[in-house]
Amino acid sequence: MRIEVDWTRCDGHGLCARLLPEKVGLDEWGFPVIDTPEIGDDLVPHARRAVGACPALALRLVPG
């Protein structure tokens, strides 16, 4: 699985970084920095939680 941000919607709330700190950092304005978007099986539940928590509906977990 891979995590994707729709940058036209992301508001920089930064909740994703709190729920998936293994993958998501934040820049100085609160927007996510994701170095490797591939999500290993162990992190998929956390990634789903982050997707569900994004207030802007900007995150997506896609196959691949």
Partner 1 sequence: MTLWYLARAAGLIAFLAATGSVVLGALASTGHRADDRSRDRRVLRQLAHRSAAVVTVAMLGLHVVLVVTDSFVDLSVPGALVPFTAGYRGFALGLGTLAAYSLAAVAVSGAARGRLAASARSARHWRALHASAYVVWLLSLGHGILAGTDTGRWWTWVLYAGCAAAVAGALVARLVVADRHESTSPLAAARRQLTTGGVR
Partner 2 sequence: MLETHPTVSRLLTAPAGTPRHRNQDELVGLAQQVRLLGRGGAGFPVATKLAAMPRGRAVQVLVNGSESEPASQKDRTLMRQAPHLVLDGALLVARALDTRHVTVLVHDPGATDALTRAVRERSDASRVRVVAHAGGFVSGEVRAAIRLVDGAPAVPPGRRVLPHESGVGGAPTFASNVETFAQLALLSSLGADGYAAIGSAAEPGTTLLTLVGDVSGPGVVEVPTGLPLAALLPGQDTDPRPVLIGGYHGSWVSDIRDLRVERPGLREAGLPLNAGVVARLSNDTCALAEVVAVSTWLAGQSAGQCGPCFFGLPAVARDAYALLHGRPSTADLDRRVAQLPGRGACAHPDGAAMFIRTALTTMTAEVEEHRRHGTCGRPWLQELPTGPAPAVRSAS
Point out which residues bind partner 1 (CB under 8 A): 6, 8-9, 11-15, 17-19, 29-30, 48, 51-55, 57-61
44 makes contact with partner 2 (CB under 8 A): no
CB 16 within 8 A of CB 53: yes
Distance CA 3, CA 29 (A): 20
Of 13, 7, 41, the closest CA to residue 50 belongs to: 13
* By CB under 6 A, residue 37 contacts ligand SF4: no
Query: Can you give the binding site for ligand SF4, defined by CB under 6 A?
Result: 5, 7, 10-16, 31-32, 54-56, 58-59
